[in-house]
Structure 1
Amino acid sequence: MTDYFRTNIAAMSAYIPGEQPKPGSQIIKLNSNENPYPPSPAVLTVLQNFNSEWLRRYPNAYGEDFRQAASQVLDIPSDWIIVGNGSDELLNVVMRACTEPERKVAYPTPTYVLYSTLTQMQSAELVEIPYGENYEFPLDELIATNADVTFIATPNSPSGHVVSIDELRKLASKLSGVLVIDEAYVDFAQENALNLVQEFENVISIRTLSKGYSLAGVRLGFGIANPNLLSGLYKVKDSYNIDAIAIAVGVAAISDQVYKNTCVAKVKVSRTKLSIDLQQLGFRVWDSQTNFLLVQPPQANAEYLYQKLKEQGILVRYFQQPGLDDKLRITIGTDKENQLLIKALFNLMN
């Protein structure tokens, strides 16, 4: 075959997202950390009344209506906010703006696999530092790398744990490069890193409406950082990266904090119940501040359970990589879905 690709692209493996069943499939989908509840009714109202004139025109290049709405909710100036086609696009924007061959990218592992993919795309130097046995944060090792870009997902996936604000503050104060705090699951957590963004010019918090706001299908994320940092990111952002529909429903969703918080509270209650049920089956369950659980079956037969559950129409996430190949990541579903999962696991294990 003709070699069309750059050397590093030809050599790398593609990022593999969670399985997406066909629409209408009778599947219990607990593998991609989607919210089990529908988006705000205000979002549906926007869609039903959307003016087709805005489909004919290009959208605002900066998602200004959404920036204003997010500014009101977060009490931060709108020019501190950058809007992206999902938070993944913003991770990519940071990488394109801040890395190149011989520049370093560092992060603790295990974590979001896309960081590795983006690093390889840029031919940057990759530095992966393992978490401790119980996910102790490798602060000193990360400081020592002094990478050009350091990724910290908190709450982290697939573990569900959080990195303390004190440790993040120490890290930010020692780095000369950019600290990316990936807060995709922040709506389910007890604290956030917004104050660090205001303290340090080199820190950006990246968030999404996919999890807490039930808008994974829309693709809308945003970053919060000092305008001096955002100025460089805008140079590599696509001109019209956010479509008009995403902006409109994003404004409706983020403005309805009461509905979002109600759904988040229900997920947290279900998370506690599912954790207890799994532990009663003999699973080891890690504490989580997300909408999923990392669990280890008592017989360490995670791949077997993943395959058997899939045959029964229940999708969970299995990672075939060191440190995770004896574990499953399970999204919190509705209480009915969670109980069907528990029943299926009980039958498989007995």
Structure 2
Amino acid sequence: MTKYFRSNVDAMASYIPGEQPGRGTQIIKLNSNENPYPPSPAALAVLRNIDGEWLRRYPEPFAEEFRQAASKVLGIPSDWIIVGNGSDELLSVVIRACVAPGRKVVYPMPTYVLYETLSKMQAAEIIEIAYSEDYSLPLEELAAANGCVTFIASPNSPSGHLVSTDDLRKLASQLSGVLVIDEAYIDFTQENALTLVKEYENVIVIRTLSKGYSLAGLRLGFGVANPKLLQGLFKVKDSYNIDAIACAVGTAAINDQAYKNACVTKIKASRTKLATDLKQLGFHIWDSQTNFLLTQPREGNAEYLYQKLKERGILIRYFKQPGLDDKLRITVGTDEQNQALVEALIYLLGSGDKRIRDS
């Protein structure tokens, strides 16, 4: 039979995203870490007033309008910013620019599984270094591996923990390759690593508008790095990778920091309450600096609960892989969605805990 694909592509598994039910489906979706609140009214107003001329012409190749807006919000020069079709595209751009077959890509595990998928596309040598049970960064092992690209998600998924800027600084100082700090969930925590891009030429911080800004469907992300690093990345990005609509809507959204921050405040409060309710049901909960919780059911029946909740119209995330197959990742929804989840769990666990039902 004819072989169409490179041997490494034939051998690799596809990335499997969270289930996406059809539009209009009556389901509580807590499996993909989407923001439960609508986007900024300012962003929606831009969308309602799209000029047909924007669609007739090619967009600005570097999404300059968005770069200027992000520059003002972050206090970073606009030429230190690269914009992508979601932060996933920027992860791919880094891999394409820096990784050749046999070169090392390094990251701690468990983490975002797309790092593995992208690395296998390039036939990279993948070095996965296990996190300890307390999710402290395996700093010495990561530095010793000295990959051409090292990925650190902070806050991390699926654990929800934040890696300290001090640890990231120590790691950056010891690497000769590129350190990618993936800050997809940074809006839900206080500390960030943005200062490191000014200290180290080999560091890129990558962010997204999917989480804090409620724009997962728009596909817009951006990276911040020294222009010396960005000049190589620009060579391999698609010519017009950001469409005109995404640029305009994303610009309005990032300019509306007050709205984004108000939504984040509600999510953080809901996160605290949901964690408390799940603990009362006997779940072990890892501290989270994100819009989701990593949880471990007391009975060790994670897959059972995932399936039964799905049957009841509630989607959460289950990872059938070592170290995670006894755990569930649950997106923080609205208080009403979270309460529906808790009540379903009470029923499934056969608990009559009145404290939960009355809370």
Shorter-chain TM-score category? over 0.9
Report how far residue 49 of structure 1 moved.
Answer: 1.1
2:215 counterpart of 1:200: no
**Aligned position for 1:54:** 54
Amino acid at match of 1:97: A
Amino acid at match of 1:155: P
Query: Secondary structure of 1:266's match?
Result: helix
2:315 counterpart of 1:283: no
Q: Deviations over 1:215-236 (max 9, x none)?
A: 0000000000000000000010
Report how far residue 44 of structure 1 moved.
Answer: 1.0
Distance, in Å, in 2 between the alignment partners of 1:121 and 1:102 is 12
Distance, in Å, in 2 between the alignment partners of 1:92 and 1:304 is 35
**Aligned position for 1:237:** 237
| Count of aligned pairs between the two proteins | 350
Distance, in Å, in 2 between the alignment partners of 1:33 and 1:107 is 21
Unaligned runs of 5+ in 1: none
Q: How do 1:1-350 residues align onto structure 2 when only pairs under 5 Å count?
A: 1-350=1-350
Q: Deviations over 1:29-48 (max 9, x none)?
A: 00000000000000111011
Distance, in Å, in 2 between the alignment partners of 1:306 and 1:3 is 38
Query: Secondary structure of 1:136's match?
Result: coil
Superposition TM-score, scaled by structure 2 size: 0.97
Distance, in Å, in 1 between the alignment partners of 2:9 and 2:132 is 31
Query: Secondary structure of 2:320's match?
Result: coil
Query: Secondary structure of 1:129's match?
Result: strand
Report how far residue 2 of structure 1 moved.
Answer: 3.1
Query: Secondary structure of 2:295's match?
Result: strand
- TM-align CA RMSD: 0.5
Amino acid at match of 1:310: K
Report how far residue 299 of structure 1 moved.
Answer: 0.5
Distance, in Å, in 2 between the alignment partners of 1:59 and 1:291 is 32
Distance, in Å, in 2 between the alignment partners of 1:48 and 1:171 is 45
Distance, in Å, in 2 between the alignment partners of 1:223 and 1:290 is 19
Distance, in Å, in 2 between the alignment partners of 1:190 and 1:345 is 31
Distance, in Å, in 2 between the alignment partners of 1:70 and 1:135 is 31
Query: Secondary structure of 2:128's match?
Result: strand
Distance, in Å, in 1 between the alignment partners of 2:2 and 2:267 is 50
Query: Secondary structure of 1:194's match?
Result: coil
Distance, in Å, in 1 between the alignment partners of 2:178 and 2:344 is 45
Distance, in Å, in 2 between the alignment partners of 1:209 and 1:50 is 20
Q: Deviations over 1:75-113 (max 9, x none)?
A: 110000000000000000000000011210000000000
Q: Percent identity?
A: 74
Query: Secondary structure of 2:160's match?
Result: coil
